Chain A
Amino acid sequence: MPKTLGKVRPHPAQNEPLLFELSSPGKRGCQLPPLDVPETNPEEALGAGNVRREIEDFPELSEVEVLRHFTRLSTWNYAIDLGMFPLGSCTMKYNPRINEAVARTEPLAWAHPYQPEELSQGAMEIIATLEQYLAEIFGMPEVTLQPAAGAHGEYTGIMLVRAYLAAQGNPRKIVLVPDSAHGTNPATAVMAGYEVKTIVSNEHGMVDPAAVAAAVTEDVAALMVTNPNTLGVFEKHIGQIAEILHAKGAQLYMDGANLNALVGVARPGDFGVDVLHANLHKTFSTPHGGGGPGAGAVGVKPHLAPFLPAPRLKREDGLWRWDYRRPQSIGRVRAFYGNFGVMIRALAFILAHGGEGLRNATLDALLNANYVRARLEPHYQIAYNARSMHECVFSDARQEKFGVRTGDIAKRLIDYGFHPYTVSFPLIVHGAMMIEPTETEPKAELDAFCDALIAIAREVEENPELVKTAPHSTRVSRVDEVAAARKPRVRWVRG
């Protein structure tokens, strides 16, 4: 095999055992200053039975070993900083480093949530400003930033619907969810006490107003719709769907996972949405960090605002205050005020772009996705013919004939130095390949990615085994996930 494949050439990666295997007694990687008060006897203070003898098997390492350990592990990861991360519906865009720097500004990073409000005005102003800008972007008058992630925002949103309907006299029983939706949507509806009824997408991959009309009864609380949907297609009947729901007293919930397609172009509040969440760790560039932290902003129309989680910010005598007297509030969804550090980063992103800049970013995101689609359409089967917004979804139909599936193609992409696209989702597409480049990929990177997928399409026809056994260039070959689940080993134990 040639050394160079696409944009990569192999490079030695250090082996590294587990922390526990590196440990040796007596080592430590930190040192405390001398205690400036008398030492308390733990047995006396806590009671002998309450004091642990030791933390059994807790590791013991020096500082340099800890640094090398995690640095070596880091080199086994792929990341946006290394290249395009085309996961559909995940919006893996560049994470600006100024955002990291300002989030570490000491008086912000070290602010205690219970320090006096008079001494927290800067943080409160940041939250209020971000709420205001997000409200403008959503087209919704009020926004809460208390939820800690997208799914947490969904949960908050559906609880708001329940509280609002309950205040009308009947919380209702059912939440409608299209079959193209993220799994979080039905899981959320159940957590918020609803039954889920699935709406089947039409032949264009869209929610059909007729299907909604047929499903909406006096028992339906809301429809949860993702727009653009998980095919990257704008739900063109969204206004009509909103009218159908509203006529029956039901609410329109929008999953804003794909908001990156809309900022500055269309506002959910303007096309009939009552409540939506958006992920600050997607559209607003805060780093995904290998799985969080995120933040889920929830925007609402005025009729839902009284139910927002407490506390809410209010302006009083020239100062920001936390208002805890919210008698209709659903209560708290998280301790304190939300993932404030994530909010700082999101605000920094919005400030960097400005209003017009945010729209320009959206247009580039749409252009990148459409360009990828145009280049790949001769080689892969587009799932639905509808126009793409910020992502495009293919099916593995042509490759399946050679016994190669979307998951295999994804693994082969790794050999070409790219993170895979989203595999096998949405579920309504047979062998889905869901690609979202975002606006922060240069054309050259997009071309390298398309070239890789085109080369793989050829490999599928000429040497399917090569693709089916990929990846070939990673530290570990294909990982046996079935074995992992059969006999779960989820912690290290002394062997």
Chain B
Amino acid sequence: MRYLPNSDADRQAMLAACGLSSLEDLYRHVPQNALIREPLQIPPGMSEYEIAAYFREKAGKMAHGYASFLGAGVYAHYRPVLCDVIAQRGEFLTSYTPYQAEFAQGTLQSIFEFQSLICQLTGMEVANASMYDGSTAVAEAAMMASRITGRSRFLAPSNLHPEYRQVLETAARNARMTVAAFPYSPATGQADLNALEQALDDHTACVILQSPNFFGVLEDIQAAAGLAHRRGALLVAAFTEAVSLGLLEPPRGADIVAGELQSFAISPSYGGPFAGVIATREKFIRQIPGRLAGETRDQDGNRAFCLTLATREQHIRREKATSNICTNQALIALMATVFMSLCGKQGLRELALQNLSKAHYLAGGLERPFSGRFFNEFVVKPKRHSVEDALRILLEKKILGGVALKRFYPELGDCLLLCATEMNRRQDMDAVKEVLA
């Protein structure tokens, strides 16, 4: 087999060195009743040629050549070639978590740069090396808020990404904490801050507010933070569309920022792998979950980097750790780092501006139930067709026309969530407008 480098002669020599006569001797000490009873029911091995053909056949059963207006937490943005070129370098791709700092300075410096870039983007002072994704980052941010405040109730509006909410609920339920919802304003699509004020109490650890929210509408983080702080609660600002930070004020009023970086050159990949991140204030550094790279010196005084504050982590603290997270999404975070470096200060702003412009062009003339300001995503009520018919007509034109909101919001059963990015061409947008207007 091509992945197994030893020849039969090697094996014989090695067995002899071990004082064994056959490969079966290697597990003769395993109790008989624990051993497998019959061969694995998995077909014989394939050549590289056959593997490529196998996945080509699967790819043939997927959408291909469609213009897409799907967003809702996963965005189609252009991926500069360098992001993959760097991520495919074996020295990054096939290395381990950089516990041995002297032999992993490349990974460590890139993590340090990632953390710095995320701080600049979010206006925070500390960012970790990555979380699994945005949804788990939000749940971990809530747990972090609970550790800081000593409280165990979380408040999240119903316009938080519904799948993020579900992940949060699972985590809270098992930790014997609670998640309480508060409504969005049916006029603006924003979280209802009056309802938030009512819902806040002295047991609330944090308020979680996503901006732009699931409907694409901007939230007033500053105002919500003011309300939360008055009751001793923290404000967790969540984001799913990282490109928005190229143009939007960072959530400066927040205590913790938790978000998803998929927009930064990570392919949609049917939902993963992505990279989440948590950023916070310096004063909360010892409560942040996950890995942190820090700057230090070597014995000769050269600048060097290493993983730091490991006393928060499971491999040192065990049951007293801030989280059980171990493997995160390092390579994906690296791709995002390369992307941010390529875009730079001007490029990211221009990218955000193109997204804003395309989405506002697309929205022109469409019926939008929410009046709130939006970035590159918005809710639409098709004027002449049902949601089902509109999506079907668009599909016939090879257009994926948005996410039907009925599955998440019965009250928005006649609405679609549409997203436009720099990847959408004007002609496809015109086709969408024709069907939905």
Tally B residues with Cβ within 8 Å of A.
Answer: 201
Given contacts A123-B270, A270-B37, A485-B294, contact A480 B299 (CB under 8 A): yes
CB of A434 within 8 A of chain B? no
A170 adjacent to chain B (CB < 8 Å) = no
Question: B288 CB to closest chain A CB, in angstroms?
Answer: 9
* B330 CB contact (under 8 Å) in A239, A289, A483, A488: A289
| Known contacts A39-B353, A351-B51; A484/B308 CB under 8 A | yes
Q: CB-CB < 8 A to A190: which residues of B?
A: 319-321, 324
CB of A94 to closest CB in B, whole Å: 6
Residue in A103, A111, A442 whose Cβ sees the most chain B Cβ within 10 Å = A111
Contact (Cβ within 8 A) B270 A481: no
A residues within 8 A CB of B410?
none
Q: Is A363 an interface residue, CB under 8 A from the partner?
A: yes
A465 at the interface (CB under 8 A from B): no
Q: Which of B322-381 contact A (CB under 8 A)?
A: 323-332, 334, 338, 340-351, 353-354, 356-358, 360-361, 373-375
Interface size on A, residues (CB 8 A): 201
Is A168's beta carbon under 8 Å from chain B? no
Contact B308 A481 (CB under 8 A): yes
A10 at the interface (CB under 8 A from B): no
> Hey, which chain A residues are within 8 Å of B87, CB to CB?
289
Whether the Cβ atoms of B91 and A75 lie closer than 8 Å is yes
By beta carbon, the residue of chain A nearest B50 is: A351
Please, how many angstroms separate the alpha-carbon atoms of A439 and B374 in the complex?
A: 53
Minimum Cβ distance to chain A for residue B112 (Å): 7
Stretch of B73-81, B183-191, B192-200, B227-235 that contacts chain A: B73-81
Task: Map CB proximity to A onto B108-137 as digits: 1 under 8 Å, 0 otherwise.
Answer: 011011011101110001110110111110
B304 proximal to A (CB < 8 A)? yes
Check if B42 sits within 8 Å of A136, measured CB to CB.
yes
Question: A196 contacts the other chain (Cβ, under 8 Å)?
Answer: yes
**Residue ID in chain B nearest A320 by CB atoms:** B61
Residue pair A29, B163 in contact (C-beta under 8 Å) = no
Residue in B2, B100, B115, B342 whose CB lies within 8 Å of A30: B342
In angstroms, Cα B11 to Cα A370, docked, is 11
A102 touches B52 (CB 8 A): yes
A58 to B143, CA, bound (A): 30
- Is the pair B350, A112 in contact by a Cβ cutoff of 8 Å? no
| B4, B302, B311, B373: the one within 8 Å of A477 (CB) | B302
Interchain CA distance A239-B34 in the complex, whole Å: 7
B61 touches which of A55, A103, A121 (Cβ 8 Å) = A121
A193 & B174 in contact (Cβ 8 Å cutoff): yes
Question: Cβ of A335 and Cβ of B161 under 8 Å apart?
Answer: yes
Tell me if B226 counts as interface (CB < 8 A to partner A).
Answer: no
Given A112-B270, A477-B302, A479-B296, are A29 and B343 neighbors across the interface (CB < 8 Å)?
Answer: yes
Within 8 A of A (CB), among B276-326: 285, 291-300, 302, 304-311, 313-321, 323-326
A54-91 Cβ-contact flags toward B at 8 Å (1 or 0) = 11111111010011011111111111111001010010
Identify A77's interface contact among B91, B285, B297, B321, CB under 8 A: B91
Assess whether A98 is in contact with B100, with CB atoms less than 8 Å apart. Answer: no
Q: Are B324 and A188 in contact, with the CB atoms below 8 A?
A: yes
* Whole-angstrom distance between the Cβ of B257 and the nearest chain A Cβ: 14
Binds B, one of A45-53, A394-402, A451-459: A45-53
Binary interface encoding of chain B residues 23-44 relative to chain A, with 1 for a CB under 8 A from any of its CBs, else 0 = 1001101110111110111111
Residues facing B in A287-346 (CB within 8 A) are 287-295, 309, 330-342, 344
Distance of B33 from chain A, by nearest CB (Å):
6
Nearest CB in chain A to that of B65: its residue: A107
Q: What is the distance, in angstroms, from B20's C-beta to the closest C-beta of chain A?
A: 7
The reply to whether the CB of A364 lies closer than 8 angstroms to some CB of chain B is yes
Q: Which chain B residue lies CB-closest to A288?
A: B96
* Given contact pairs A105-B56, A351-B46, A492-B113, A79 touches B341 in the complex (Cβ within 8 A): no
With CB as the reference atom, state the residue of chain A lying closest to B311: A485
Closest A residue by C-beta to B101: A479
Please, what's the 1-or-0 string for B139-179, where 1 marks a CB less than 8 Å from any CB in chain A?
Answer: 00001000000000000000001011011011101111000
Decide if B4 touches A364 in the complex (CB within 8 Å): yes
Assembled-state Cα–Cα distance A148/B34 (Å): 29
Q: Does A210 contact B (CB under 8 A)?
A: no
Give the shortest distance, in Å, between A422 (CB) and chain B (any CB): 9
B43 pairs with A355, CB closer than 8 A: yes
Q: Which residues in window 181-199 of A have CB below 8 A to B?
A: 182-184, 186-193, 196
Given A102-B52, A184-B324, check contact A73 B110 (CB 8 Å).
yes
CB-based contact B96/A87 at 8 Å: yes
B341-A116 in contact (CB<8A): no
Known: A111-B62, A289-B92. A414 touches B338 (CB 8 A): no
How far is A151 from B326 in the complex, measured between Cα atoms in Å?
7
Q: Across the two chains, which residue of chain B brings its CB closest to A289?
A: B331
Flag whether A419 is at the interface (Cβ < 8 A).
yes
B386 within 8 A of A: no
Q: In whole Å, how far is B328's beta carbon from the nearest beta carbon of chain A?
A: 5
With A42-B356, A67-B85, A348-B51 in contact, do A490 and B285 touch (Cβ < 8 Å)?
A: yes
User: Per a CB cutoff under 8 Å, which of B15, B27, B245, B324 touches A154?
Assistant: B324
When distances are taken between beta carbons in the complex, the residues of chain B under 8 Å from A37 are 357-358, 361, 426, 429
Please state if A336 and B74 are interface contacts (CB–CB under 8 Å).
yes
Residue of A nearest to B126 (CB): A490
Known A-B contacts A336-B271, A352-B46; A236 and B29 likewise in contact (beta carbons under 8 Å): yes
Question: Chain A contacts of B298 at CB under 8 A?
Answer: 476-480
Does A55 lie within 8 Å of B304, measured CB to CB? no
* Min distance, Cβ A206 to any Cβ of chain B, angstroms: 12
1/0 per position for A336-379, CB-CB distance to B under 8 A? 11111110100010111111111111011011101101110000
Cβ-defined partner of A361 (8 Å) among B3, B84, B247 = B3
Verify A74–B100 contact, CB threshold 8 A.
no
Name B28's closest neighbour in chain A (CB-CB).
A387
**A393 contacts B by Cβ under 8 Å:** no
User: Residue among A150, A190, A196, A375 with the most chain B CB within 10 A?
Assistant: A190
How close is A330's CB to chain B, nearest CB, in angstroms? 6
Q: Does A244 contact B (CB under 8 A)?
A: no
Which listed residue, B78, B95, B250, touches A79 by the CB 8 Å rule?
A: B95
> A116 — which chain B residues lie within 8 A by C-beta?
63, 395, 400
* A71–B272 CB distance below 8 A: no
A191 touches B174 (CB 8 A): yes
Binds B, one of A211-219, A245-253, A261-269: A261-269
Whether the pair B15, A183 counts as a contact (CB closer than 8 A) is no
Give the distance to chain B from A188, nearest Cβ to Cβ, in Å: 4
Contact A334 B45 (CB under 8 A): no
Instruction: Give Cα distance in the complex from A52 to B248, angstroms.
Output: 5
- Asked whether B403 is an interface residue with its Cβ less than 8 Å from the other chain, the reply is yes
Q: How far is the CB of B117 from chain A (nearest CB, A)?
A: 7
* Top 7 A-B residue pairs of the complex, sorted by shortest distance between their CB atoms: A336-B271, A289-B331, A81-B90, A291-B330, A354-B45, A355-B42, A355-B40
* With A122-B60, A136-B40, A361-B1 already in contact, 15 other A-B pairs whose C-beta atoms are closer than 8 Å: A38-B357, A46-B218, A50-B248, A51-B249, A119-B62, A265-B27, A288-B94, A289-B330, A291-B96, A293-B132, A336-B271, A351-B50, A366-B23, A476-B105, A481-B296
Can you list 5 A-B contacts (CB < 8 A)?
A: A29-B342, A136-B42, A187-B317, A439-B4, A440-B3
